[in-house]
Amino acid sequence: MGETLRAEGGALKHVVREWVHFRRIRQDMESFLRSRHGFMGEVRASAFYRPASIFVEQPPLNLRLQLELAFHAVIPHRRERKRPEEFQVKRPCNCSECSPASVRLLPLGDALHMHAGNIYGTAGHAHQEAYSMYQAAEELLQHVGMSFRDVVRTWIYLRHIDRDYAEFNRARSDFYRRSGIAVLPASTGIEGGCHASAHDFLLGLYAIQSPSPRKLAVMTTPTLNQAAAYGSDFSRGMRIEDGNKVTLFVSGTASVDEKGRTAHIGDLSGQLNRMLLNIHTLLTGQQASFEQLVLLTTYLANQADAACVLDTLHHRGLHDLPNALVRAAVCRPDLLCEMEAIAVLPLP
């Protein structure tokens, strides 16, 4: 990570968000945190390295790896002299394993950007836990004068996605309705195990608040319908203009057609190509392409299909893109793969 950042003129302090995908999170979390802390101390970065972190059990497709790290950094045009703002967060519940959420506050121009990860609710029935997770997120946002209406992107991980996805969707819809959420954030909802055994849900978010109107636009494409049409309250993507750039957050995208149906049931190659078509058209609708992608995460339901995924990415010329490849079940049993993306391009 350090070498990659230095090659782009950045440093560890510029990492605003990290995702750590574990093969065995409960077995390896303590060792990982100890190693990370030791490394940051050696390079004198511990006071500056304050990313919003998501720690989740999603085994890397590369069977030799015990974990895989992805990160998103924002390198300012002018040299910074400030440390990341400190942010004290209380534990969301009384279980001994659940750590406080991690939060990174980033002032850019007249806007405040908030990145948060590892947000838990209160353990319980699926609807109750998912709803309380959103309430915990709202409390975090209120600490800095924000609300959930400022959220533009979320990441949700469900330990038992086949069992709990319907109740999660119901809880999210209830929370959004009661909170008056008009513009649905971009989002990913995917299988992922939490470190805290008492919890089945985990949330990360990105929010922006500005005294001037935010320059946001919901991303759409003719190859996909709106997810809310079949009961999932999220936008297919979000375009954000700030400073000297446009950032495109593409939601978790699968082999879904323009009527919301699963396309190419039982055909992995067909699903991969439809998934990539949907992402391509979301990008081209914003005058962007795969060339502007800075981060991908590819989720594959079956480990045995890894070679097909790698072959498809290579054939499409996408094998050199930054891409975390992990195993995770998708929100429908007949969906075999899903991909999310971040693209960055200059202001027009």
84/331 Cα distance (integer angstroms): 36
Q: Which of 107-111, 130-134, 314-318 is predicted most confidently?
A: 130-134
Cβ neighbours, 10 Å, residue 224 = 24
307/108 Cα distance (integer angstroms): 42
Sign of the four-CA dihedral 67, 72, 76, 77: positive
Cβ neighbours, 10 Å, residue 185 = 23
205/114 Cα distance (integer angstroms): 8
Rounded to whole angstroms, the maximal C-alpha distance in the chain is 54
Instruction: Write out the two tokens for 328.
Output: 């995770």
Percentage above 70 pLDDT, the chain: 95
State the pLDDT at residue 4.
Answer: 92
- The residue assigned the tokens 């990570």 is 1
State the pLDDT at residue 85.
Answer: 60
Distance, first Cα to last Cα, the chain: 30
Region 197-223 average pLDDT = 94
Cα distances from 175 to residues 130, 136, 271, 327, in angstroms, run: 9, 12, 32, 29
Contact (CB, 8 A) for 185 and 234: yes
Is pLDDT of 57 > 90?
yes
Average pLDDT over all residues of the chain: 93
* Range in 102-116, 134-148, 185-199 with the lowest mean pLDDT: 102-116
State the pLDDT at residue 107.
Answer: 86
98/12 Cα distance (integer angstroms): 26
Per-residue model confidence as pLDDT tens digits over 216-262: 999 999 999 999 888 899 999 999 998 789 999 999 999 999 999 99
65/305 Cα distance (integer angstroms): 17
Region 305-324 average pLDDT = 94
Q: Which CATH architecture has domain 214-348?
A: 2-Layer Sandwich (3.30)
More confident residue, 214 or 37: 37
Per-residue model confidence as pLDDT tens digits over 99-111: 788 999 988 888 9
Q: At what angle do helices 268-284 and 306-315 cross, to 10 degrees?
A: 40
- Domain ranges for the chain: 214-348
User: Which of 280, 288, 290, 294 has its CA nearest to residue 322?
Assistant: 294
Q: At what angle do helices 161-179 and 126-143 cross, to 10 degrees?
A: 50
Q: What is the pTM of this model?
A: 0.95
66/80 Cα distance (integer angstroms): 35
Name the pLDDT band for 145 (thresholds 50, 70, 90).
Answer: very high
State the pLDDT at residue 266.
Answer: 96
Three-class SS of the chain: CHHHHHHCCCCHHHEEEEEEEECCHHHHHHHHHHHHHHHHHHCCCCCCCCCEEEEEECCECCCCCCEEEEEEECCCCCCCCCCCCCCCCCCCCCCCCCCCCEEEEEEECCEEEEEEEEECCCCCCHHHHHHHHHHHHHHHHHHCCCCHHHEEEEEEEECCHHHHHHHHHHHHHHHHHHHCCCCCCEEEEEECECCCCCCCEEEEEEEEECCCCCEEEECCCCCCCCHHHHCCCCECEEEEEECCEEEEEEEEECCECCCCCECCCCCHHHHHHHHHHHHHHHHHCCCCCHHHEEEEEEEECCHHHHHHHHHHHHHCCCCCCCEEEEECCCCCCCCCEEEEEEEEEECC
State the pLDDT at residue 214.
Answer: 84
Contact (CB, 8 A) for 58 and 329: no
Contact (CB, 8 A) for 175 and 168: no
Torsion angle of C-alpha atoms 223, 154, 178, 126, degrees rounded to 10: 100
Per-residue model confidence as pLDDT tens digits over 69-99: 999 999 887 765 555 565 666 666 667 677 7
State the pLDDT at residue 311.
Answer: 95
